[in-house]
């Protein structure tokens, strides 16, 4: 059982020499086996939350805490966060020139577990994971993110998650730019890892459509740097019908 505990998190970003508070006190707890959806309008700070937990240097934590089973995540390096069982797709570089998907995955796995995977088993595991995500085997030889389509990037993200076997995963807009078929495949991938590992998932999205495939246990509405409302899956339905207007007006 793993618990990610975000307490009264305040985060600022400095742009043009001026610090601006983006997260204004976020409280959120994600446990193994739970799926939490964070939904909110563009610019409300959803990605800032993901980047802050990932340890992106641009985001300055000015208050609050992030704990993983009581350990201070904010004191960890990015690598330590991954070794502790956090999966944050955005911690990886956008493009890795000259590094194949296959080598990249093996290096990442070695970093996370502290030892190189046994090649024979590993090759089989990668092959099966790729088949599950309906990825062509030639994909493994391609350079990471070089010329990847939107759908390929997302599949690669889920492939990493499948192979690295994290305890808590934060997926930021994994659904954006996917057609319905790709969305279904990616969602099935998330669901597989969820049931196989008892993964805790923080699913950040602007749209309700992915929630038809990946059922959340909890829905949090994110507005202007904090959680404005919380509920179960029925809250997503309401957002689908009513949009965010009510929350945005209420917080203005």
Residues that bind ligand ADP (CB under 6 A): 13, 15, 22, 40, 42-48, 58
Q: Residue 216 Cβ, how far from Mg ion at the closest point, in Å? A: 18
The binder of 25, among Mg ion, ligand ADP, none, by C-beta within 5 to 8 A per type, is Mg ion
**Residue 182, Ramachandran bin (φ over 0: left; ψ between -120 and 50: alpha; else beta):** alpha
Q: How many Å apart are CA 43 and CA 123, to the nearest integer?
A: 41
Name the residue among 128, 127, 180 with its Cα closest to residue 151: 180
In the bound state with Mg ion, the residue whose beta carbon lies nearer, of 155 and 226, is 226
Q: Residue 20 Cβ, how far from ligand ADP at the closest point, in Å? A: 7
In the bound state with Mg ion, the residue whose beta carbon lies nearer, of 51 and 104, is 51
The binder of 55, among ligand ADP, Mg ion, none, by C-beta within 5 to 8 A per type, is none
In the bound state with ligand ADP, the residue whose beta carbon lies nearer, of 46 and 156, is 46
Q: Residue 205 Cβ, how far from ligand ADP at the closest point, in Å? A: 10
In the bound complex, which residue of the shown chain has the CB atom lying closest to Mg ion? 25
Our CA angle for 41, 205, 97, nearest 5°, is 115
In the bound state with ligand ADP, the residue whose beta carbon lies nearer, of 13 and 144, is 13
Q: Residue 219 Cβ, how far from ligand ADP at the closest point, in Å? A: 15
Q: Residue 212 Cβ, how far from Mg ion at the closest point, in Å? A: 20
Question: 172 CB contacts (<8 Å, ≥6 apart)?
Answer: 46, 47, 50, 89, 90, 204
In the bound state with ligand ADP, the residue whose beta carbon lies nearer, of 42 and 77, is 42
Residue pair 227/63 in contact by the 8 Å Cβ criterion:
no
């Amino acid at each position: 059982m793993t618990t990610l505990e975000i307490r009264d998190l305040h985060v600022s970003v400095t742009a043009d020499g001026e610090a601006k508070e983006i997260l204004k006190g976020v409280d959120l707890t994600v446990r193994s086996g739970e799926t939490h959806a964070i939904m909110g309008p563009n610019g409300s700070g959803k990605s800032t939350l993901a980047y802050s937990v990932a340890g992106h240097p641009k985001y300055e934590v000015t208050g609050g805490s992030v704990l993983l089973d009581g350990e201070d995540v904010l004191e960890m390096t990015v690598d330590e966060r991954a070794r502790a069982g956090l999966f944050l797709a955005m911690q990886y570089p956008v493009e890795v020139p000259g590094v194949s998907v296959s080598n990249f995955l093996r290096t990442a796995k070695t970093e996370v577990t502290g030892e190189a995977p046994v090649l024979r088993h590993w090759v089989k595991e990668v092959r099966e994971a790729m088949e599950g995500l309906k990825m062509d085997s030639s994909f493994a030889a391609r350079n990471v993110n070089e010329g990847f389509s939107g759908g390929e990037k997302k599949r690669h993200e889920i492939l990493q998650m499948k192979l690295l076997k994290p305890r808590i995963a934060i997926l930021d807009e994994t659904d954006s730019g996917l057609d319905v078929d790709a969305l279904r495949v990616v969602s099935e991938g998330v669901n597989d890892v969820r049931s196989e590992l008892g993964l805790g998932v923080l699913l950040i999205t602007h749209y309700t459509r992915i929630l038809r495939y990946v059922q959340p246990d909890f829905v949090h509405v994110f507005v202007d740097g904090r959680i404005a409302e919380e509920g179960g899956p029925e809250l997503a339905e309401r957002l689908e019908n009513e949009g965010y207007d009510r929350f945005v007006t209420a917080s203005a």
